[in-house]
Each structure stands twice: as structure tokens, then as C-alpha cells.
Amino acid sequence: MTKRELIEEVINSKTHLPRREVEALVNAVFGSLTEALVRGERIEIRGFGSFIVKRRNAREGLNPKTGEVVSVNAKRVAFFKAGKELKVRVDQRPLSFDGAGPGSAASASIPAVVSAASGDK
């Protein structure tokens, strides 16, 4: 989902809000989240997850094209950890993706497993 799609979802669920206000609200929320992470603060949204800033130490890496050893500077990166409720809700959805396209052996086996579990032959 893109930010534009998120704005559309909010507009469709809350029709009394004008588009400009919804865009401003979504931008304000993302701006607040970004600024908190820049300050190194932890953000916790109950039932959804938490955002933290992790420190990555300096290290030696490899240039994938040339194989040359390069120095990678230390940096801070934003990290998201899904909350328990989000994990449970996501896991309740049937698997429709596993890197295999429609009609592949992996996707074809899902209905067979469902049929076998329900007693259909």
C-alpha cells in the first residue's frame, strides 16, 4: 500500500473528511513518526508494532560487482517489529504467496491441503 492508497482508504472509510485534510493528517502522522525516530525515540503503537532506531557498526563489505573490499561506515537504521496482535491477524489469512506464481506446484498444493483437511477426496 502506498501513501496515496492509504489516503484513499481513509477517505473511503471517513467520507465526511475532505481530501486535503486527510492528506494533511497522514503527512502529519508520518512527519511526527519520522521526527521521533530522528531523535532516537522508540515508537510503540499498541496492537500494531514498534519502531526503534538500531545502530549498525562500521564494517568491511564487498562490492558485489567487483568483489573489492569496501569500508561501510557506522549508521543508524529504522527497524520495525510487528506486535503480537498484528502477527496473529496476518497469520490468519490463507497463504496466497510464497514466491510462486499462479498455477505453480506450490500454489496448486494449497487447495489440495485444504481439501484433505476438510475430508474431501
**pLDDT attached to residue 99:** 55
Give the angle 22-28-34 at the CA atoms, nearest 5°.
140
pLDDT reported for residue 23: 94
- As beta bridge partners, residue 75 has 56
Per residue of the chain (121 residues), give pLDDT as tens: 999 999 999 999 877 889 999 999 999 999 999 999 999 999 999 999 999 999 999 999 999 999 999 999 999 999 999 999 999 999 997 776 655 545 444 444 444 444 344 444 3
The reported pTM is 0.65
Q: Which residues contact 83 (CB under 8 A, 6 or more apart)?
A: 45, 46, 47, 48, 49, 50
CA distance 84 to 76: 25
Quote the pLDDT of residue 113.
42
